[in-house]
Amino acid sequence: MVALSGNPRPGSRTSALAEEVADALAREALPGAAVTTVDLAEFAPEILAPEHPAADAALATLAAARIAVVATPVYKASYTGLLKAFLDLYPANGLLGVVAVPLVVSGGPAHALAGEVHLRPLLVELGATVPTRSLVVTEATLAEPAPVVADWLATAGPALARAAGVTGVAGAEARR
């Protein structure tokens, strides 16, 4: 289980939310799974450099995940340039076999479709399976996102478990 944050600010609320969602998914869909957090802000300058060992390690971590929460704030009606630059380092089908959860933090409901219109197609283009709607958390609910996450998980959890190949949630074996 990987929580990927595309927020350019280190230690952002987006990153904290991605971890919270990944932890909830691990509890519900992949009991016992460890959550690895990748915060792109920690090595952002390296992503555009010719050599990028930290980015390469993060790419490998994400590609090996059974389920990945891919989180971004909405900037100018879409995902961040940092997230795009990172994901552009993958070859075609670089996320094949990964079940991805698009997670969008938006200023308000006007940007609620950013995950569906922009982030989902990018993840699918990279070969990820995206079996559920994007999880959207607005600024108004960001201080206490647990109810929004719980409601989303109640609907999306079974589809995510099926897509990740978890037949019996209790005792399910996790790749990551």
Q: Rounded distance, CA 97 to CA 33, Å?
A: 17
Task: Show pLDDT as tens, one digit a residue, over the chain (176 residues).
Answer: 999 999 999 999 999 999 999 999 998 877 888 999 999 999 999 999 999 999 999 999 999 999 999 999 998 889 999 999 999 999 999 999 999 999 999 988 888 889 999 999 999 999 999 999 999 999 899 999 999 999 999 999 889 989 988 754 433 333 33
**Residue 169 placed within a domain:** no
**Residue 51 placed within a domain:** yes
**Residue 173 placed within a domain:** no
CA neighbor of 102 nearest in space, from 80, 90, 92: 80
**Residue 176 placed within a domain:** no
**Residue 172 placed within a domain:** no
**Residue 55 placed within a domain:** yes
**Residue 174 placed within a domain:** no
Considering the entire predicted model, what is its pTM? 0.91
Expressed as residue numbers, the domain containing 16 is 2-163
Domain count, the chain: 1
Q: Rounded distance, CA 94 to CA 112, Å?
A: 27
Cβ atoms of residues 114 and 78 within 8 Å: yes
Q: In CATH, what number is assigned to the domain containing residue 159?
A: 3.40.50.360
Phi, psi of 142 (to 5 degrees): -65, -30
**Residue 11 placed within a domain:** yes
